[in-house]
């Protein structure tokens, strides 16, 4: 059996959480990541028959029974993951009953997965229904994106359009736009269900006055989506109080999207 600490998926979680904390996106215990793993690969590092304990999910995840995830822990700080992954991360498998997670590794202090894990699983299920290669769901509190929530209308078309105007790459990186939810109580099935519904249409969902959810095929793709939104939001916040002399025109966005061959939201443009 290989050393789990050397597993590529553990190393990815260590590096990504450290980077997100460094960027200021995940203060204290804010933010969480879940990463769906390949069973064969996990079996090289863990005895899949050894269930340490079971943890209730609090909702029905029957659609993804048997799927294995590495997930950040509840109350855990991203800054501590790299130094002590076995306490701050866990690897769980969705049990046959669909309502229980089987702990295969981690949470060695008796902890459990993030309180947002049900919301993550709902988003995983929603994304898998439209993209069977989806593997990652990431939630964090990017500073400028959050600041933008307070001074910009929380309307999906208008919010997306403003972000697309800020950086030439934006319509290419997230041509499907950004979904937006009003403020909702976090850690509940209700916000998870609302996010999952948006995830059928968007890979990025803003939680009003809270943060952002992102989904993707790889850790890099998922991180990169948030990174690009945050850069655009930063430019907006640096310029929103100033006279706008130049902008990326809608016709130029079309030119970009069609040149790079992406399927963009035409209804989010003003043509």
- Please determine, for residue 228, whether its predicted confidence score (pLDDT) is greater than 90: yes
Whether residues 135 and 259 share a domain: the answer is: yes
Band (pLDDT 50/70/90 cuts) for residue 271 is confident
5-17 pLDDT tens trace:
999 999 999 999 9
Catalytic, out of 12, 116, 165, 227: 116
Whether residues 70 and 128 share a domain: the answer is: no
% the chain with pLDDT above 70: 100
Alpha-carbon distance of 9 to 15, in angstroms, equals 10
102: annotated active-site residue? no
Whether residues 108 and 126 share a domain: the answer is: no
Whether residues 105 and 175 share a domain: the answer is: no
248-257 pLDDT tens trace:
999 999 999 9
CA distances from 44 to 1, 26, 36 (A): 6, 31, 16
Band (pLDDT 50/70/90 cuts) for residue 1 is confident
Alpha-carbon distance of 141 to 186, in angstroms, equals 13
The overall average pLDDT reported for the chain is 97
Q: What is the pLDDT of residue 48?
A: 97
Whether residues 210 and 103 share a domain: the answer is: no
Whether residues 218 and 138 share a domain: the answer is: yes
Q: What is the mean pLDDT of residues 17-44?
A: 97
Whether residues 136 and 248 share a domain: the answer is: yes
Range of the domain at 44: 1-114
Number of other CB atoms surrounding residue 249 within 10 Å: 12
Domain count, the chain: 2
Whether residues 132 and 255 share a domain: the answer is: yes
Q: What is the pLDDT of residue 187?
A: 86
Band (pLDDT 50/70/90 cuts) for residue 153 is very high
pTM of the predicted model, to two decimals? Answer: 0.95
Band (pLDDT 50/70/90 cuts) for residue 230 is very high
Whether residues 92 and 129 share a domain: the answer is: no
Here the CATH number for the domain that contains residue 265 is 3.40.225.10
Whether residues 124 and 91 share a domain: the answer is: no
Whether residues 171 and 67 share a domain: the answer is: no
Q: What is the mean pLDDT of residues 77-85?
A: 97
């Amino acid at each position: 059996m290989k050393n789990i600490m050397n597993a590529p998926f553990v190393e990815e979680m260590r590096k990504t959480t450290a980077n997100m904390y460094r960027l200021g996106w995940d203060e204290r215990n804010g933010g969480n990541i879940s990463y769906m793993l390949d069973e064969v690969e996990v079996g090289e590092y863990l005895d899949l028959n050894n269930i340490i304990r079971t943890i209730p999910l609090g909702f029905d995840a029957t659609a993804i029974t048997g799927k294995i995830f590495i997930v950040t822990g509840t109350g855990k700080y991203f800054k501590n993951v790299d130094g002590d992954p076995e306490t701050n991360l866990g690897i769980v498998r969705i049990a046959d009953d669909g309502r229980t997670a089987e702990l295969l590794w981690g949470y060695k202090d008796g902890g459990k997965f993030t309180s947002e894990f049900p919301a993550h699983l709902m988003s995983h299920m929603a994304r898998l229904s439209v993209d069977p290669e989806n593997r990652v769901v990431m939630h964090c509190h990017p500073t400028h994106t959050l600041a933008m929530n307070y001074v910009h209308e929380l309307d999906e078309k208008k919010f997306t359009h403003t972000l697309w105007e800020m950086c030439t790459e934006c319509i290419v990186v997230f041509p499907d736009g950004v979904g937006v939810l009003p403020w909702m109580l976090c850690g509940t099935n209700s916000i998870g269900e609302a996010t999952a519904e948006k995830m059928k249409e968007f890979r990025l969902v803003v939680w009003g006055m809270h943060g952002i959810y992102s989904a993707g095929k790889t850790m890099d793709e998922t991180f990169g989506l948030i990174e690009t939104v945050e850069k655009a939001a930063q430019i907006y916040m640096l310029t929103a109080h100033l006279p706008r002399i130049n902008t990326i025109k809608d016709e130029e966005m079309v030119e970009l999207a069609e040149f790079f061959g992406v399927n963009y939201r035409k209804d989010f443009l003003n043509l």
